[in-house]
Structure 1
Amino acid sequence: MFYVTIFFQYVAQYMKTRLEYRADLLVEIFSDLLFQVVNLIFILVVFGHTEFLNGWSREEIIFIYGFFLVPYALFSSFFNIWDFNERYIVKGELDRILTRPIHSLFQIILERMELESLFGVVTGIAIMFYAGGELGLGIRWFDPFLFIVLVLGGVFVYAGIFIMIACISFWADARTSIMPMMYNIGNYGRYPVDIYNQAIRFVLTWILPFAFVGVYPAAYFLGREEWFGYSFLTPVIGAVFFGLSVFLWNEGVKRYRGAGN
């Protein structure tokens, strides 16, 4: 309950801060929506030249993209640690974090919140409903609950990967450009993995499992039975990668000796 209370206190302060500059907030929301629209247009352009992409129809690809937006939006709202190396290690702000009686990773997550990114959840669900309507997909009573479980699994996959990348800074505190590259690789998860070669497919499934953020869980709702095994693995992969990332974080914090050393 202590952590829950702290979380809502941070959210309240964040909202007060953001609402002080409403125009800036609206511009950021509009920019996020524009970025999502551009990606959707790219999909439409691709299917302007072909009816199917390795057996996947345009509406199925759009549905996968819509699903991908939901866990990605949640991740973007609460796990903005892309500048962890420069801000907290190189500039020494982690020293301030470690003086407080609360887990350091939890503090950084709260400090780096960007709740305006949650609008991506609305966009993603809207895209899914549109594509699902075109495909004639139905909604069973348990689908919303399964949807939440699979989305959270995707969030933890994303969070686990990027937290582990941030942990590199505990052992190599020089500035690094791995984060931007990984964000670009993560975008591959919003397309069916079987359009890639075997090597990339293996990486996106077991090494950097971004496929569990988009195509694998979405395949369940699309009725792609050949992918159901991967779909139900999503929360397991998410728990494994997030648990491993927290373990590495704790070990890294033990190794950390301060900005002055």
Structure 2
Amino acid sequence: MFYVSMFFQYIGQYIKTRFQYRADLVVEILSDLLFQAVNLVFILVVFGHTQFLSGWSREEIIFIYGFFLIPYALFSSFFNIWDFNERYIVKGEMDRILTRPIHSLFQVVLERMELESLFGVFTGVAIMIYAGNLLNLTFAWYDYLLLIIFVLGGALVYAGIFVLLASIGFWSDARTSIMPMMYNIGNYGRYPVDIYNSVIRFVLTWILPFAFVGVYPSAYFLGRSEWYGYAFMTPFIGIAFFVLAVFVWNVGVTKYRGAGN
């Protein structure tokens, strides 16, 4: 209950801070929406030259993209730690974090949250509804529960991968450029994995499992029975990667040498 209370206190303070600069908040929301629109236009341009992509129709690709936006929005809202190494390790702000009687990762996550990214959830839902109507998809009552489970699993996959990457900073004091590169690799998860060669498919499934953020869980709702096994693995992969990430983080904290060394 203590952590729940702290969570809502952080959110309350964040909202107060953001509403002090309303124009900046509106610009950031519009920028996110524009970025999502550009990605959608890219899909439409690709399918302007072909009807199918490795057996996937335009509407199915759009549906996958819409699904991908939902877990990605949750991740972007609460795990905005792309600059962890430079801010907390190189500049020494981790010293401040470790003086407080709260788990260090919990503090870092809430300090860096960007709740305006949650608008991506509504965008993703709208795109899924649009594509679902074109595909004549129907959902049973339990599909909505599975949707929530798959979304949370996908968000944990993203969170686990990037917490693992952030944890590298505890062993290295130098600035690294791996975060931006990994963000770009993550975008591969919003396209069907069978459009890639076997090596990339293996990496996106078992090494950097971004495929569990978009295409695998979406395949269930699209009726792609050959991917059902992967779809139902989504929450387990998400939990496994996130638990591993927290473990590595906790070990890394013990290796932190402080800003003065």
TM-score, with structure 2 as normaliser: 0.99
Q: Distance in 2 between matches of 1:20 and 1:84?
A: 25
Matches within 5 A, 1:144-159: 144-159=144-159
Shift of 1:255: 1.0
Counterpart position of 1:69: 69
- Show the 5 A alignment for 1:216-235: 216-235=216-235
1:136 corresponding residue in structure 2: 136
Corresponding residue of 2:52: 52
Residue type of the alignment partner of 2:246: V
Sequence identity (%): 79
- CA distance in 1 between partners of 2:67 and 2:192 (Å): 12
Query: Is residue 16 of structure 2 the alignment partner of residue 9 of structure 1?
Result: no
Q: Tell me which residue corresponds to 2:126.
A: 126
| Partner secondary structure for residue 223 of structure 2 | coil
Shift in Å, 1:85: 0.3
Tell me, yes or no, if structure 1 residue 111 matches structure 2 residue 111: yes
**Is 2:46 the counterpart of 1:22?**
no
Q: How far is the alpha carbon of 1:173 from its aligned partner? A: 1.4
Deviation at 1:219, TM superposition (A): 0.4
For residues 87 and 224 of structure 2, the distance between their equivalents in structure 1, rounded to whole angstroms, comes to 43
CA deviations over 1:26-63 (Å, ceiling 9, x no partner): 00000000000000000000000000000000000000
The alpha carbon displacement at 1:257 in A equals 2.0
Paired residue for 2:244? 244
Q: Deviations over 1:130-152 (max 9, x none)?
A: 00000000011111111110000
CA distance in 2, matches of 1:92, 1:213: 33
Kindly provide the amino acid, as one letter, of the partner of residue 167 in structure 2.
Answer: C
**What is the CA–CA distance in structure 2 between the aligned matches of 1:170 and 1:88, rounded to whole Å?**
10
1:43 aligns with 2:4: no
For residues 24 and 158 of structure 2, the distance between their equivalents in structure 1, rounded to whole angstroms, comes to 27
Matches of 2:129 and 2:42, distance apart in 1: 19
- Once the two structures are TM-superposed, the CA of residue 167 in structure 1 deviates from its matched residue by 0.7
In structure 2, the gaps of 5 or more residues are: none
Hey, what's the Cα distance between the residues in 2 that align with 1:61 and 1:80? Answer: 26
Q: Whole-Å Cα distance in 2 between the matches of residues 205 and 153 of structure 1?
A: 14
Letter in 2 for 1:92: G
Q: Partner of 1:195 in structure 2?
A: 195
Query: In structure 1, what is the Cα distance between the partners aligned to 2:233 and 2:139?
Result: 21
Local SS of the residue matching 2:141: coil
Structure 1 unmatched runs, 5+:
none
Distance in 1 (CA, whole Å) between partners of 2:29 and 2:257 is 39
- One-letter amino acid of the structure 2 residue matched with residue 172 of structure 1: S
Counterpart CA distance in 1 for 2:187 and 2:32 is 15
- d(CA) in 1 for partners of 2:225 and 2:174? 46
Offset, 1:176: 0.3
Give the drift of 1:13. 0.5
RMSD, aligned α-carbons? 0.4
Counterpart CA distance in 2 for 1:260 and 1:61 is: 50
Counterparts of 1:48 and 1:257, CA distance in 2: 55
Task: State the alpha-carbon separation in 2 of the partners of residues 71 and 223 from structure 1.
Answer: 20
